[in-house]
A and B are shown apart, each in its own frame.
Chain A
Amino acid sequence: MLAPMKYAAPATVEEARALLAADGGARVFAGATDLIPQIRAGRPEPSMMIDLKRIDRLSGIARAGSTWTIGAATPTADIVAHAGFAAEFPGLAEASGLIGSDQIQNRCTWGGNLVNASPAADTPPALIVNDAKAVIASAGGERTVAAAEVATGPGATCLGADEIIVEFTLASPPPRTADAYLRLIPRTEMDIAVVGAAARVTLAPDGAVTAAAVALGAVAPTVVRVPDAEAALIGGPLTDDALEAVAQAASAACRPIDDKRGTVAYRRRVAGVLARRAVAIAADRAAADQRGASS
């Protein structure tokens, strides 16, 4: 007979880490919207479930100077509803608001979305184009890694066995900068991305693109950055040719698989379409961005 699963609700990061270090079968959870379905689908039951939501530092949205700090266990519903945050990161808020349904968003978190390391997760591409950093509590203290470095393959991360993501930091974007996130699902909600595309664009007052980032989800084992798309955009105005170059570069950057959710050919083509559309939306938003308009 299996020993019954234990539940712990530590109040500090150190307590949580100590519990994790003491029991190799223990797992942390935030929303548990990945963990519980996985257990029900037959993955091994953890010996202990460690609830991260009772640790004050892991929940909350704060801005100090030009740095935003988001607790790793903050429900994405709070992020979507935070008007100040959503104004600066509309695409990241969009990605956060696409996960599952209202019920799921009241529980689920960036930390869980990133550490679960599904290639199809919605928030990682948007975190990555915004150069988000994850602050990780380790045995020796804390270390900071780029969100892009966290997932190393499907279900695999750079985290050590007793490491926990504590929070995310994001720099407030410069003026005339905005992001966007689009995904392709066969339904309108409650589905999983066949392709996801995030873009962030900064425009000069004359409309030239001065900075750009494009990242794709669900088309490779981990999120794919598309430097060729970024290069095609930077330095010029957002012409149809530039957008077409984005689409081409995005399609070329994919390393998709054939599976029950889509084919290689489909994912490749649609990655280009969504990347182009996401860039166009981000650029429209950047052009409308009033912050620092007088400068």
Chain B
Amino acid sequence: MTVTESRPESSSEPPAARPRYRFVGTRPVRHDGLDKVTGRARFAADCDLPGQLAGCVVRSPHAHARIISIDTGEAEAMPGVKAVISGGDFPAVAPGDPNYDMGVNLMARDRVLYEGHAVAAVAALTTDQARAAAAAVRVEYEPLPPVLTIDAALDPAVGAIHAHMFTSGADPAPTEPSNVSQLTNFARGDTEAGFAAADVVIEREFTTQPVHQGYIEPHAVTADASQDGKATVWCSSQGHFNVRAQTAAMLGWETARIKVVPAEIGGGFGGKTTIYLEPLAVLLSAKAGRPVKMVMTRSEVFRATGPAPGSKFRVKLGARSDGTLTAGKAQMAYSSGVFPSYAAFLGAWTVFESYDIADFEVEARNVVLNTPRSAAYRAPSAPMSALATETVVDELAQALGIDPIEMRLRNAVSEGAINTLGAPFPRVGFTECLEAIRDHPHYGAPLGPNQGRGVAAGHWFNIGESSSATVNLNEDGTATVVTGSPDIGGSRASMALMAAEELGIDVYDITPVVGDTESVGFTDITEGSRATFATGMAVVEACRRVVADLRGRAAKMMGVDVSEVDWADGSAVHAGGEHDPLPLAAITAEAKKTGGPITVTGSLDAKGVGPSFAVHLCDVEVDPETGVVQVVRYTAAQDAGTAIHPSYVEGQIQGGAAQGIGWALNEEYIYDGDGVMENPGFLDYRVPVASDLPMIDAVIVEVPNPNHPYGVRGVGETSIIPPLAAVANAVAAATGRRIRDLPMSPVRVLDAIVNSGSDSTDSSSSNG
């Protein structure tokens, strides 16, 4: 088989002002690349231990039911069965405990709360035996009415799923429990006056369905709790320190009793920032006295792990005839599955965040349903809020006869603009992204019949958090860089590039490693686009201290004062030039004589995150007789701050765009009337396949973040925000119909074309 390299180079040249680096900004083959493409890389399910048992989870067939009894007797007596556990084997959790939601989600107690909810687990010698025993666990249920839609959850007449849940953030505090877990309000200025000052006001409603992250690797774990009262857990996750903390909390153990070893991860996208199997495997292992391995099926992944929330919004924006946005109003609801989440807060924060709008009011509710607990998915809540805002902005531009990029340029936030939370924006590259798309050959390219073009923007704030890195210089002058950040998108290569830049040695003389929880300092989850930013900072800090150490050692070797020694291109250089430069390898070779091993740890809580903006441009072709939408051309510009490894920045941009296109066109959870998922597999849960997508042209914009040593902004999340609206705007341009309910499946698109009800002029008003 031949493999052809067909990756396009980025069409953006680095700005001339950018400092020239030797390694940063180059494209070496990632250190883990060969193993990944040859199948040697070891993922979570590749861990096997001698004597291990196979674990299997018993799951609820009901979306909502009281558990009357669980009888494990028959299962325990079956051949090969070594342990059976259920809710009663876990520490009790009471409503209101910080561990309540996760504890109950992990294993049902008195009620099952969604179809697929775990009620018991079995470990046996073989997978077949475990499955047979799981089927023999007798659970008696009393079905209860499930709450399945946002409308039902908002209806005060529908009973509360959780008797202890009173809407937080509501003023006055409610006296009755409800299915609204939380309310967020943001407001600024005088919205009524703002709308009155507008020449055009457009108000629209939008709905989106829950969508899964769709990582290829199902959740898997092997746990060994057979010795010493300690447990070792092998799994893939976005944060093994988090797995350790959550597993310890669920079991009521001290953190130090658990060691988590990270495996290579086959995709996470936010979905692997929480746990589902680990405490079950530890408990089964402790009970059986043997290691236990558990691997979810795809159906379990869909039915029991967290999708992104569904949403229902009403968004209104007003603009003056010159395009200036004057006021915004958003009423939003997110469904986070069976437990509360921060989804509504993030939606309220992001809905108007990209634009400088003087007067706005946002009210967002988080509701709970009898569906799986939602989890993070790349830029949580922002793709839905951007669908609404970016569609209405597009309609305003259309109504005013203003070019959609120009419309956004007139309102784009820039440094100093006050954000939704009331803080000023640092230097950001939104304008530069808009200009990059405007100036791209794609923007003016001719369109064919039945084709339409759409543009949309997106913003994500990115986060910092805690990271640790240890740099060990080896005897031969190579270096090992150990971090605590699972590598979900090429971060090891980026760590190696920054270390190479700092130390001045070749990137392949650096081995970047993700250490287990006992081999490196605490590190937060790889989330919030933070790994290259925050863990990169820790690497740079550690390397700078290594260089200081090296200069000291070289000074000793030269017999001069350290102030006379500089570090340049991987060597200690004597300022006066009387001594020959000492390359790094010459110093490590003599380390015994100059103070012993050279090893430094950098640990920090990173501050100074750089928000990231993206602008996407999408061409679609719509078959007017079948409603099938084909994305025919796609260009995505994003501000990376600095692209440490441009290929992996492009990969993040392309991946987010692909996932967002799937969200826009076909992905959705489909439930029957009883709350049973009808499409728990990749046949009917339609993520795009390769032939569904054009090559996504990634344009890297670089407006360096002044608060990072290399100017890094996170890039992992922003790319999924614009596609929903970019595709919707393109479909509107191609068909003359606005579709505001996702997904835009062929059925829905044809319906919009044939039944001309939803044209683009309803509920807009002119104040002229």
Write the residues of chain A forming the contact surface with B, with a CB cutoff of 8 angstroms.
Answer: 1-2, 184, 186-192, 194, 260-263, 265-266, 269-270, 273-274
Contacts and interface: CB of A to CB of B under 8 A. Distances in A.
A194 to B, nearest CB: 7
B119 to A, nearest CB: 18
Given A191-B683, A192-B683, A269-B754, A184 B628 contact: yes
B689 A266 contact: no
A184 B623 CA distance: 11
A273 B746 CA distance: 14
B71 interface: no
Given A1-B129, A187-B692, A188-B689, A266 B679 contact: no
Interface in B724-760: 745-747, 750-751, 754
A201 B689 CA distance: 34
Contact of B626 (A191, A192, A263, A273): A273
Contacts of A273: 625-626
Contact of A188 (B626, B678, B692): B692
6 contacts: A186-B628, A186-B686, A189-B689, A189-B691, A269-B754, A270-B625
Contacts of A266: 627, 746-747, 750-751
Contact of B750 (A1, A187, A270): A270
Contacts of A194: 746
A186 B746 contact: yes
Contacts of A2: 128, 132
Contacts of A188: 630, 689, 691-692
B746 A184 contact: yes
Interface of B: 78-79, 128-129, 132, 625-628, 630, 665-666, 670, 678-679, 683-684, 686, 688-689, 691-692, 745-747, 750-751, 754
Nearest to B681: A41
B741 to A, nearest CB: 14
A28 to B, nearest CB: 23
Contact of B678 (A187, A190, A192, A260): A260
Helix, strand, loop or mixed for chain A's interface?
loop
B626 A184 contact: yes
A188 B678 CA distance: 22
A1 B79 contact: yes
A274 B626 CA distance: 9
Given A186-B666, A186-B746, A260-B684, 12 more contacts: A1-B78, A1-B132, A2-B128, A2-B132, A184-B746, A187-B688, A188-B692, A192-B683, A260-B670, A265-B751, A266-B747, A269-B754
A266 B627 CA distance: 10
B679 to A, nearest CB: 6
Q: Tell which of A186, A260, A263, A270 has the most Cβ of chain B within 10 Å.
A: A186
Nearest to B126: A1
B655 to A, nearest CB: 18
A139 to B, nearest CB: 35
A64 to B, nearest CB: 38
Per CB-CB distance, the 5 closest pairs between chain A and chain B, nearest first, are A188-B691, A273-B625, A266-B747, A260-B670, A260-B678
A144 to B, nearest CB: 34
Contacts of A269: 750, 754
Contacts of A260: 670, 678-679, 684
Nearest to B78: A1
Contacts of A1: 78-79, 129, 132
B626 A187 contact: no
Nearest to A1: B79
B128 A187 contact: no
A261 B746 contact: no
A265 B689 CA distance: 27
Contacts of B692: 187-188
A194 B745 CA distance: 12
Given A187-B666, A188-B691, A189-B691, A263 B747 contact: yes
Contacts of A263: 747
B215 to A, nearest CB: 18
B1 to A, nearest CB: 12
Contacts of B128: 2
A80 to B, nearest CB: 17
A189 B689 CA distance: 7
Contact of B689 (A184, A190, A262, A274): A190
A217 to B, nearest CB: 15
A265 B748 CA distance: 11
B695 to A, nearest CB: 15
Contact of A187 (B625, B686, B754): B686
Contacts of B665: 186
Nearest to B299: A41
A83 B679 CA distance: 38
Contact of A191 (B627, B686, B750): B686
A186 B79 contact: no
Contacts of B79: 1
A186 B745 CA distance: 7
Nearest to A267: B747
A192 B626 CA distance: 16
A191 to B, nearest CB: 7
A194 B129 CA distance: 38
A145 B151 CA distance: 54
Contacts of B670: 260
Contacts of B630: 188
Given A187-B666, A266-B750, A261 B691 contact: no
A269 B747 CA distance: 10
Q: Tell which of A189, A260, A274 has the most Cβ of chain B within 10 Å.
A: A260
Contact of B747 (A190, A192, A262, A274): A262
B238 to A, nearest CB: 28
B494 to A, nearest CB: 33
A273 B684 CA distance: 23
Contacts of B132: 1-2
A206 to B, nearest CB: 30
Q: Tell which of A194, A262, A265, A266 has the most Cβ of chain B within 10 Å.
A: A266
